[in-house]
Structure 1
Amino acid sequence: MNVLVVEDDIELTQFIQKGLVSEGVAVSVAFDGTIGRSLVNEHRFDVVMLDVNLPGMNGFDLCKFIKQNWPAVPVIMLTALGSLDNKVLGFEAGADDYLAKPFAFKELLFRLKALARRHPSRAPRPKSLQLLDLKIDTDSHRVWRSGQRIELTAREYALLEYLMLNQGKVINRVDLLENVWDVHFNTNTNVVDVYVNYLRRKIDQVEPKLLHTVFGVGYLLGAEP
């Protein structure tokens, strides 16, 4: 596994690097966002770890840059900003996981391996997906409904793509959390419901409605509930 760590805390970076190398992980390091962007441009990484408060280019902007250019590369945010609002900002930027400081190294290692193992880039995907007049280009992440382009955030797109890959099936919230957010949230969180509503407002402005709630179970993307 080849990992990029973008973190301006030198002591913490050395701690992470030493631990990962001892586990057989190849590690590259950048101490500011601008250098991190250059390294991402020049090399292929299996996972990128980002601090939020970085000199040169902050972690949210760097995450957006990575996801716009290499959407298959998993990104985990490492930050002291651990509130739910900040986590939502991180996921909105396209992050696949979010680990608040201070953290246990074993948990970090587990999350890195989980991202590298479960990320969609490890499995082949069709170049396009379609359900009636809803169409997705999985290479460009562009979406259309009734011939009209729909603008989605990175997280909304990831949610829609997963539902499209499983169209006609009822998907529960835990499944969505694990496969779209790649993290194990407290199951009391309503982040899935919030993003389903965001997505529904964008793709279901015309008939027939495609994104359905199956009460007490989860969500279904299909022509009929």
Structure 2
Amino acid sequence: GIDGLDKFKTAGADIVVADVMMPRMDGFSMAKEIRRLSPAVPLLFLTAKSAIDYVEKGFEIGANDYIKKPFELRELIIRIKALLRRYGDNRSDDTKFAIGGYTFNTTTQMLTMGDNVVELSHFEAMILERLASNIGKTVDASELMIAVWQRDDPSNRNSLHGYIHKLRRALRHDPAIAIINQRGFGYMLTIK
């Protein structure tokens, strides 16, 4: 972990693939420091730790993807290529959404409205990006869970609802904005 961080500081990287369990500095600690230095570099965790708490911690730190061991090398290559397509060429370009009176920057995960600035968690930012890309349309709950946790699992539905509640609170200063629960289907971001 320390060696990886030193290499990142001196040479940078197009993408960071980090194991969670490393000697002297674990992958989570290394990733926190890398995120502080470069909020936009694509970050993928590899780990034998499959408990949802580890997956959640990885995404909260700012991972863009998470792959559990054992895995096929081909799957790792596919995921790296997908991350580079999505983030690699545009790392210096912030993607921004206008949501009512707010501006949402997907790279910095900041939601701003005047002097009001909210730093979203990685999960909140991933969910809001999906909703903001589909304003006025219902985004299937399964699609949101697959985007965030890579699987549609009934145990994630309460977590998803919790993150939606946090997003509603973050967007509360513009009364024209609503996140509507379309029962049995998903969620819709609307602006009056």
Matched, 1:218 2:186: yes
Q: Secondary structure at the match of 2:191?
A: coil
One-letter identity of the residue aligned with 2:46 = L
Alpha-carbon distance, 1:60 to partner:
1.4
The residue that corresponds to 1:43 in the other structure is 11
One-letter identity of the residue aligned with 1:61 = S
Q: Is the 8 A contact 1:212 1:219 kept in 2?
A: yes
Q: Is the 8 A contact 1:52 1:78 kept in 2?
A: yes
The residue that corresponds to 1:96 in the other structure is 64
**1:112-123 alignment, distance < 5 Å:** 112-117=80-85, 119-122=86-89
- TM-score, normalised to structure 2, is 0.78
Q: Is the 8 A contact 2:20 2:45 kept in 1?
A: yes
Alpha-carbon distance, 1:187 to partner:
4.4
Q: Is the 8 A contact 1:61 1:93 kept in 2?
A: no
Q: Is the 8 A contact 1:204 1:211 kept in 2?
A: no
Alpha-carbon distance, 1:192 to partner:
3.4
Matched, 1:144 2:112: yes
What is the root-mean-square deviation of aligned Cα atoms in Å?
Answer: 2.9
Q: 1:163 aligns with which of 131, 138, 155?
A: 131
Q: Secondary structure at the match of 2:39?
A: coil
Q: 1:86 to 1:137 in 2, by over 3 A?
A: closer
The residue that corresponds to 1:130 in the other structure is 98
Query: Which of 158-167 and 47-56 deviates more?
Result: 158-167
Q: May I ask how many residue pairs the two structures share in their alignment?
A: 189
Query: Which of 138-147 and 150-159 deviates more?
Result: 138-147
> Bigger radius of gyration, 1 or 2?
1
* Structure-2 separation of matches of 1:160 and 1:100: 25
Identity percentage of aligned residues? 30
The residue that corresponds to 1:79 in the other structure is 47
Matched, 1:184 2:157: no
* Structure-1 separation of matches of 2:67 and 2:107: 28
* Structure-2 separation of matches of 1:121 and 1:210: 32
Which structure 2 residue ranges, 5 or more long, are not aligned?
none
**1:171-219 C-alpha deviation (Å, 9 max, x unpaired):** 22343345x43x6314433243342233223323663442222222222
One-letter identity of the residue aligned with 1:116 = L
Q: Is the 8 A contact 1:145 1:203 kept in 2?
A: no
* Structure-2 separation of matches of 1:114 and 1:137: 21
The residue that corresponds to 1:30 in the other structure is none
One-letter identity of the residue aligned with 1:72 = A
